[in-house]
Chain A
Amino acid sequence: MAAPVSPSAARPASEMIGFDGVSVVFDTPKGQVVALDDVSFSIPEGEFASVIGPSGCGKTTIFNILGGFLQGNSGEIRLEGKPLQQSATDVGLVFQEDAAFPWRSALDNVAFPLELKGVGKEERHARAREFLQMVGLSGFEDKYPAELSGGMRQRVSLARTLVTQPKVLLMDEPFAALDEQTRLLIGDKITTIHNEMKQTTMLITHNITEAVQLSDRVLVMTYRPGRIKKVVEIDLPWPRTSEILGSEKFGQYVAAIWDDLRVEASRGLEAQGA
């Protein structure tokens, strides 16, 4: 993991994403819900981090804050050492929902952000083609989302975000709706892309295997109020493929994280009256 030291960063030197005592409280008809409570963490440049936790723990709140859809009530959020609001760092977002535009071909979907920036047709198609190839969709350029599988559509969305070459890539459970085999294979693809592009990546997920397979570090969250319970550094060799799932060390990581998560997940279940 080569993480070049960015001179502009305040603290720690190579930090890309920083949360410092961030709290978010929602007013709901049933009273206040503390989505995030004093959440602090720091993700170094180029690292792949996963945020894992039970449903309702505030994972998506982290995504929404970094994506600019939501503001925290207190605390500081930094990108490359600058407060989020003043930051010029490009953040690419991949959503949980099926977000490929059904009225555009795969190629034109991927070219969409370039089109917004006024990139000429030839160049944006060339770049879109390159990124479709990167996600393994060469030959599907002219297909429309209705003609693609769910996994393919999600890869179109991923390519559409990657084509802008963001410094930070945020993904909110992008594979939650996919079957297990597809999910593992896309995981391999994600690893390859991350090794190539080295963008700082944050993956929101509720899947432990996925988190361990893809990440340098895993942030385990508690059920309400959402706090960071533990940060687990995954010390498994790169490059990793889904074959690593069988290894003993992999199993130990999964078991350790589940140990922490089980308590939170059962609290979540009880709170929801299950």
Chain B
Amino acid sequence: MTSNAAPRSAALALSPVAIRVLIILAAIAVWEVAARSGLFYQGVFPSVLKIVAALWELLTSPDFYWHLSVTAGELVLAIFFGGTVGAVAGYVLGVSNYLSRALEKYVYYVSATPKIIFLPIVIIWFGVDSGSKIGLGAVAAFFPVCLNIASGVRSVNPVFLRVGAAFKATRSQVITKIYLPAIRGAAINAARLGLAVAIISVLLAETKLAKNGLGYLVTQAFNKYDMPTMYALIFFIFIVSVAINTAMIRMAGERESGSSF
């Protein structure tokens, strides 16, 4: 680096992190200006301060945590059932060229349909309570998990499997000591995508026919025309989803970049 270049770049360039923070501040400022300009209904475009106040009220009310725990519980069970079945199905499709050619197209096509169309079916099967939310979330999570695990299993270096065979590894040893670590990145990615669609499906199902959960709270706020609370809820859900997603990307990246530093 020459002595000429250094001061110039320091004067002009903001760090990427600074730019990111600025964008958020600008967005808040634009919102606040729009809210106060009088051009929009106050109810539709509430002031940021009102939203923050509503958020604070939510975060300090025990009722909110009850609804949060309902949604979280539904999500955990949805990803557990959908993820387990999806991972097993993905493994089978991954190791069997024959089954993959026979069945994978179907999985692929159905995975592209919006899962909310299955809501009436899961309500009939699992009831209007948490069962249908778990069911819909599980159906949604199944597809990305299955397809990602299948392609992960297929991409495992065949020589690793030959090493396992040479040392007479049992099938379960091959799965736990070769496949699992070898597809770690794909597995975390599968969980990430599965969780993302499960969150969508569970919340969406909660906005339809429900008596509790975050999705229900959003609909309730909407019906009561309580816009600050609705925005606060949406903001909360957004932040939590981004945090989960980021954490999982970090987990996936850790090993791939060399692993041991």
Contacts and interface: CB of A to CB of B under 8 A. Distances in A.
B109 interface: no
B19 interface: no
Nearest to B167: A113
A139 to B, nearest CB: 15
A116 B168 contact: yes
Contacts of A93: 162-163, 166
B258 A144 contact: yes
The 3 closest A-B pairs by CB, nearest first: A97-B159, A103-B181, A93-B166
A105 B260 contact: yes
Contacts of A92: 166
Interface of B: 157, 159-160, 162-163, 165-170, 173, 177-178, 181-182, 184, 255, 258-260
A101 B181 contact: yes
Interface residues of A, number: 26
Contact of A112 (B157, B159, B177): B177
Nearest to B255: A103
Contacts of B182: 101, 103
B163 A99 contact: yes
Given A103-B184, A116-B177, A146 B259 contact: yes
A142 B259 CA distance: 11
Contacts of A69: 162, 165
Given A69-B165, A101-B182, A116-B167, 11 more contacts: A67-B162, A93-B162, A93-B166, A99-B160, A101-B160, A103-B255, A112-B163, A115-B177, A116-B177, A142-B260, A144-B259
B159 A99 contact: yes
A144 B260 contact: yes
A10 B105 CA distance: 55
